[in-house]
Amino acid sequence: MSKWAIGLLVLAGILVVAVFGLLRATGDGSSPEAPDAAPGAAPSSSEAPTPPTTAVATTATIPATPQHHVFEQDTTFTERLVLRPGDTVELRNGACLCFGPGGSADWQGTPTSTWSDDGRTQNLERDIEISGEGHIRFMNGAEPSEIRFVEIDLQPPQEIGKYPLHFHHAGDGVRGTIVEGVVIENSTNRAFVAHASHGITFKDTIAKDVVGSGYWWDPPEAYSRDRSSNSDDITYDHALTDGVETFPGEPGYRLSAFFLGPGTGNAIMDSVAMNVGGRKDSSGFHWPGRHHSQPLTWRFENNVAHDNVANGLFVWQNNRQEHIIEGYTGYANGNADIDHGAYQNSYDYRDVNIAPMQIHALGWSVAGGSIGAVTTLRHAREGSPVTFTDVAVGRLIINNTANNGDAPAEYIFTNSGLTFADVVIEGAVPGTRVTIDGETRTY
């Protein structure tokens, strides 16, 4: 073969590699697409499926040498996408970096420190960066991923289903996924969303200055028994939310850092919620109301809420599910460190250290720790006593006539250090009973 022929063959090979690399980075312009929800599964009423409508990328890897990748249109990966230290990804025009059947992420940034136990010291720098005006979504058929030490600075459209890191109806296919050391900052939408997706662990993660919520997924319709939107076996382990603001035009009454949504086997531990905005019932940790028939029990251990506009922890439920709150500290929250409602439920607080506590619901208990002051507010109906055992209580303020309350209640304190001299009556419904170390007084 002549030298000219050999040269032409080499040039042709170079052109093929260049074209393949371009298609891998930007998509091939063809129409997709894998389905966004599991076959036969009804989409969430609050999050209609919005599948990408452009390129399907089937390439598996990005070179190990640092690369800058730009996606200007929705692109779906159906194999593994690899990112390594020094790599950057830019999403433009609201593009979706999506993962369909067979797709997964293998993103391995350099391990580094994340945040201090009170959340005030944070390291927001990572050596894999994803930025721009798009969003990331793992869909039905996606496989388990490893997303470690990545900085995500995305401003997606403020539309349902478009979040910086979103697992959408991925079901058990993503079970085993680990999201570790990831920072999501400056998001114009909710940050970490695992919706109808199971077995995902979020460890040493940070949601910094986001809109809507730090950690969240779509709940079902109010009072619905449909569980197709639930997520199971989600773990938040040493997860932080610092800074949550409301969507434009919304009051933010129940804005939260951690929305503890319906599902089974879910856990949150050693996590911090701070600087949540909103009004009235906003909070760091929120067990939602209007979903009383759904499984809402979380393993809750050693969590902290501070410097939130309204509440550290907010409960508004009516059910008999056994909730155990094992270790909780709240301070410097604008309204209450715990605001506990609604009418009657079964929460067992153990070893809480808080200042103000407001109570609306009946039938639950506190054991261990310390409470600066307990304020009783309106009870919607009569119910079982609220009990405080082996927990230091500074004051009891009875005001259950607030908001036209007319249901009496019973509060029982055992080995709390409280005396009747520490009981302040601002408004007691007739028949209200207080028992302190065996002595009962009726008001």
List the chain domain ranges: 8-211
Count the neighbouring beta carbons within 10 Å of the beta carbon of residue 6. 10
pLDDT in tens, 295-317: 999 999 999 999 999 999 999 99
Given this model, what pLDDT does residue 222 score? 79
Q: Residue 21: name the closest of 86, 84, 67 by CA.
A: 67
246 residue type, one letter: T
Largest CA distance in the chain: 108
Helices (H), 202-274: none
φ/ψ (deg, to 5) at 23: -65, -35
Count the neighbouring beta carbons within 10 Å of the beta carbon of residue 184. 28
Given this model, what pLDDT does residue 290 score? 79
With a cut of 60, say whether residue 31 has pLDDT above it.
no
Given this model, what pLDDT does residue 63 score? 59
Given this model, what pLDDT does residue 220 score? 84
With a cut of 50, say whether residue 26 has pLDDT above it.
no
Given this model, what pLDDT does residue 201 score? 98
Stated length of the chain:
443
Beta strands in 189-342 (DSSP E): 192-197, 201-203, 206-211, 215-216, 235-237, 240-245, 256-259, 266-269, 272-276, 283-287, 298-306, 311-316, 322-331, 336-341
Query: CA torsion sign, 326 to 327 to 333 to 335?
Result: positive
**CA dist., res. 149 & res. 167, Å (int):** 18
With a cut of 50, say whether residue 9 has pLDDT above it.
no
pLDDT in tens, 168-198: 999 999 999 999 999 999 999 999 999 999 9
Band of pLDDT at residue 225, cut at 50, 70 and 90 = confident
With a cut of 50, say whether residue 36 has pLDDT above it.
no
Given this model, what pLDDT does residue 44 score? 37
φ/ψ (deg, to 5) at 403: 55, 40
Given this model, what pLDDT does residue 56 score? 54
**CA dist., res. 192 & res. 213, Å (int):** 8
Beta strands in 112-265 (DSSP E): 129-132, 135-138, 146-148, 151-154, 165-171, 178-180, 183-185, 192-197, 201-203, 206-211, 215-216, 235-237, 240-245, 256-259
Burial of 246 (0-12, 13-18, 19+ CB in 10 A): middle
Band of pLDDT at residue 244, cut at 50, 70 and 90 = very high
CA end-to-end distance (rounded Å), the chain: 107
pLDDT in tens, 82-117: 999 999 999 999 999 999 999 999 999 999 999 999
pLDDT in tens, 409-431: 999 999 999 999 999 999 999 99
Given this model, what pLDDT does residue 221 score? 83
Count the neighbouring beta carbons within 10 Å of the beta carbon of residue 403. 10
**CA dist., res. 304 & res. 308, Å (int):** 11
With a cut of 70, say whether residue 164 has pLDDT above it.
yes
**CA dist., res. 147 & res. 182, Å (int):** 7
Burial of 201 (0-12, 13-18, 19+ CB in 10 A): middle
Band of pLDDT at residue 65, cut at 50, 70 and 90 = confident
Q: Residue 95: name the closest of 117, 69, 65, 75 by CA.
A: 75
